[in-house]
Structure formats: C-alpha cells, structure tokens
Amino acid sequence: MKLRNKLYIDFGLFLITAIIITAASLNMVSQFKNKMDEVVRDNYEEVRLANIVRYEISSTSRYLRDLILLDMDIVSIEKDIQNVEDSREKTFLALNDMDELVKSNETSKLVSKLNLLYDSFNDVQIEVETLVKEGRKDEAIELLVNVQKNRDEIYQVINQIVEIEEQVMHDTLEQTENSYRQSIRVFVTLIIFGVLIGLGVMFISMRKIAGDINKVTGVINSITSFDATDNLPRINITANDEIGQIAKAFNEMTGVLEEQIKQAKKYNKAIQEQSWLKSSVGEVSTMFQGVKNIEIFCYELITKITPIVGGKYGVIYMIEGEEEKKYLKKLAAYAFDGSQIDSRDFKLGEGLVGQCALENREIQLEQVPDNYIKITSGLGTASPKNILILPVKFNDQVLGVVEVASLDEFSTNHKEFLHRVLNIMGITINRIANHMQVEKLLKESQIFTEKLQTQSEELQLQQEEL
C-alpha cells in the first residue's frame, strides 16, 4: 500500500478531530478579535483623539500666554504664532476624526458641543494673535481670561468623553474576557480529546516513516547553510513511495538550481567586469584633457593604469628620431629600476619592445624566466609572472610602446582595458604633439618677426647715416 493511502486511513479520524478543534478555535479567536478590534479601533481611538485635543489646546494656551506676558522680539512672536497655527491644525484634524468615529448618541452630542466650544476658543485666540501683532497687549490680556474660561469648558467636555469611552472599553473587555474563558474551557476539552486520538494514530503511522521524513527534512533544513559556491546536498532515499518521489524531485531541483547559480554568477561577473571596464576607462579618459606636455601625460598615465591592471612595473617608450634613425626612448615609468636594464633606449626591432613597435602587434610573456627583470620593494624582489607589451597607435601609425609586468596573470578584462586606454593614449599624444608643434612654429615665427624688425631698424639707421 502506498504511503498516501496509509496516510488517508491513519489520519482520517485525526483530520475530523482537527477540523472540529480548528473550527471551535477559529470561532473563539474571531469573536475575541472582533471585540478587541472594536475596542481598539473605535473607543480607544476616540480617547486618544480627545487627549490630542486636550494637549493641543493646552499648548495653544501656553503659546498665547507667552505672546501676551513675555517681552518677545518679532522673530519669537512669529515663531509662537506659527506654533499656535500648527496646534490649531492638529486640533481640527483630531476633531474631524472624532466626528467620523463616534457612534453613540451621548458621545455624538458631546463631540458636537466640543466642536462649538473649540470654534469659540479658536475665534478668541485669533483675536488675541491680531492684538499681539498690533502691539495691543493690554486688550489681549483681557481676552486671555476668556481663553482660559473656554479652555476649562473644553476640558470638562473632553473629560466626559474620555470617561464614557473608558467605561465602554471596560465593559467590552469584561464581556470579551468572559467569552474567552468559556471558549478556553471548550477548546481545552477538544484539545485533550483530539490529542488522545491523534497520538494513538500518529504513533502507529509515524514510527514507520519517521526515518525517511527525518532524512528529507534534515537535507532541506541544511541547504540554508550552503554557500552559493558549494554543491547543494542530495536526499539519499530509493523508496518507491511518495517520500521517494519527493526525494527524487528535490534532487532534480537542486541540480537545476546549481546550474542556475552558475549561470547567475557568470552573468553577474560579466556585468561587473563590463561596469569596471567602462568606469575605469572613463576615469582615465577624463584625467588628461588639459595636459599639454607629453612627458607629464605619459608619467601620469603609466602611474594610473599600472595598478589598475594589477601591474607592479610599467614603462612607456616613445618613438623619437627621423625615418631611418627612429628609436624608442623611455619617457615614463612606474616602479622602474634602472640598475637592472642596460639600455633605456631601443632601436626598432631590438628586443621585444623594439619588435613590438616594428611589427605593430601585442606581445605577451606568460612564463618569465627567473633571471628576467625583478619587481623591487622595500622588503625584497620578485620575478613577474606575466609581461604584456603593447603598441601605442594613431591611425595605424606606431607612436610608442607600453610594457607592463605583473606577479599575476593578466585577465581578459585587464587586456581590454589596456587596449581601450592605449587607443585614447594615441589620440591624446597626437593632440599634444600637434599642440606642441603649433607652439614651436609660433615661437619660431615670433623670433623670425623680431629678426626682421631688427634688420629693418638697422637698414633704416644705415639709410639715415647715408
């Protein structure tokens, strides 16, 4: 017999008992909840609103008294008047809410009376504000007596409302408590009866299937302690009943979930890499817009991009000289140790740097010999694991070479970052070179003009002598 049929038979009686207990419990809870909601929603709220009105009227009276009796400057007067207006607004809101909540005729009459008294109180306080603004404090003092009289009448009405509502709450709570005690007695009786029957049925049934259920629940509960990088646990149950089907479905689900986690991590990593690439390139591209010197530009660039790609050493070489005498000259460096390198300049085709410039292509060393260049710090030296040499181009013309060394492998994202930055570098160097050429020509033109002017003056003097 399948587990489902066993459960139908074994738990049938228990289900009937549970339904009866649940119905009785729900009825008890519903009655108790409805009465409590009524007390909290209506009566308690009315008491709370009445206390708000009392408090705001007390605050208003205090502000009016300060306005009349204290010698205050204009700013303080305006501040107290604003406080009075804020209290008035809160009082009107509380009175409107009380009008909506009130149910009994007695309370309704008291609320109406409270509204009338507050209207009178409000009129007097507005008149007091006007007199204070006009500097007629003597007349305002006379009105203050009326304000206090109206306030006392309002307090009396509020006390009556609070007394009525508190009595209603007390009566309602007492009725609810009596109903609750009666329901508890019924509920306890049903609980005892149901538990005796349920325990008998459950003891027979659950003893057989407890082992498998414990396995299922144990694995399901333990899944929350697994990190997204771990393999999710499996349920090792081979039974052909419903629990076995649950275990099989769970194992299939965890397999799909593991695959989804891998895809999500891969996607998130790609998004993070693209975001890092765009932000890093954007940051570098905006750093050097005002630079007009190639050496300063190259120095700031190599010190910026080398740490970004995880490099510990970096050099920028620029092409100098005429067509047949071109060579690569070290223009800027990051963590450069001149004692390890014999020559700081390279001919085209000389060494990997010269070869990179000659062939206009990227060169990468992934297995650097131990006796190659060392990365030096205050604590010692270490050999780089990867060296990347890239040409700097503008319109397919090589302008220079960038060499970066790292203790770790350069990622695809790091390489893409360097390619994009070097494209920007080529454009920027061309712009700076053109600017420097224009400045050079301008200076030459100025010198030539000065020479012509000097020669002209000399000729003029010679003519005058003749």
Any domain includes 142: yes
Pair of tokens at residue 226: 């697994």
pLDDT at 401: 94
Maximum separation of any 2 CA atoms in the chain, in Å = 143
Higher-confidence residue of 17 and 246: namely: 246
d(CA 329, CA 298): 12
pLDDT at 53: 78
Same domain, 309 and 273: no
Domain boundary among 269, 286, 303: 286
Same domain, 105 and 131: yes
Same domain, 144 and 106: yes
Any domain includes 407: yes
Pair of tokens at residue 417: 């970052």
Which of 191, 260, 164 shows the shortest CA–CA distance to 18?
191
103 vs 43, 162, 250, CA distance in Å?
9, 14, 57
Structural domain total, the chain: 3
Name the pLDDT band for 339 (thresholds 50, 70, 90): low
Same domain, 256 and 393: no
pLDDT at 41: 65
pLDDT of residue 335 exceeding 90, the answer is no
Q: Are 308 and 280 in contact (CB under 8 A)?
A: yes
Any idea of the CA torsion for 85, 90, 96, 100, to the nearest 10 degrees?
180
Any domain includes 63: yes
Same domain, 40 and 107: yes
Q: What are phi and psi of 347, to 5 degrees?
A: -75, 160
Angle at 99 between CA 53 and CA 37, to 5 degrees: 90
Q: Are 63 and 83 in contact (CB under 8 A)?
A: yes
d(CA 426, CA 400): 9
Any domain includes 466: no
Same domain, 36 and 183: yes
pLDDT of residue 49 exceeding 80, the answer is no
Same domain, 389 and 436: yes
Specify the CATH number for the domain of residue 20.
1.20.120.1730
Residue-range definition of the domain harbouring residue 421: 291-449
Domain boundary among 266, 286, 306: 286
d(CA 456, CA 67): 90
- pLDDT, one tens digit per residue, over 160-179 is 877 877 777 777 777 777 77
Same domain, 150 and 275: no
Mean pLDDT, the chain, whole residue set: 78
Domain boundary among 286, 317, 335: 286
Same domain, 282 and 305: no
Any domain includes 418: yes
Same domain, 242 and 106: no
pLDDT at 173: 72
d(CA 357, CA 353): 6
H or E segment to which residue 433 belongs:
helix 412-465
319 vs 253, 332, 424, 440, CA distance in Å?
61, 13, 17, 19
Same domain, 302 and 433: yes
Any domain includes 456: no
- pLDDT, one tens digit per residue, over 90-120 is 878 877 877 777 777 777 788 788 788 877 7
Pair of tokens at residue 119: 């209207």
H or E segment to which residue 363 belongs:
strand 363-365
- The CB-side HSE value for 77 (13 A sphere, CA atoms) comes to 17
Residue 62, classed as helix, strand or coil, is helix
Any domain includes 457: no
d(CA 418, CA 311): 11
Q: What is the per-residue DSSP string for 223-261?
A: GGGS-TTSPPP------SSHHHHHHHHHHHHHHHHHHHH
Q: Are 373 and 384 in contact (CB under 8 A)?
A: yes
Q: Are 250 and 235 in contact (CB under 8 A)?
A: yes
Specify the CATH number for the domain of residue 357.
3.30.450.40
Higher-confidence residue of 210 and 353: namely: 353
Any domain includes 461: no
Same domain, 70 and 107: yes
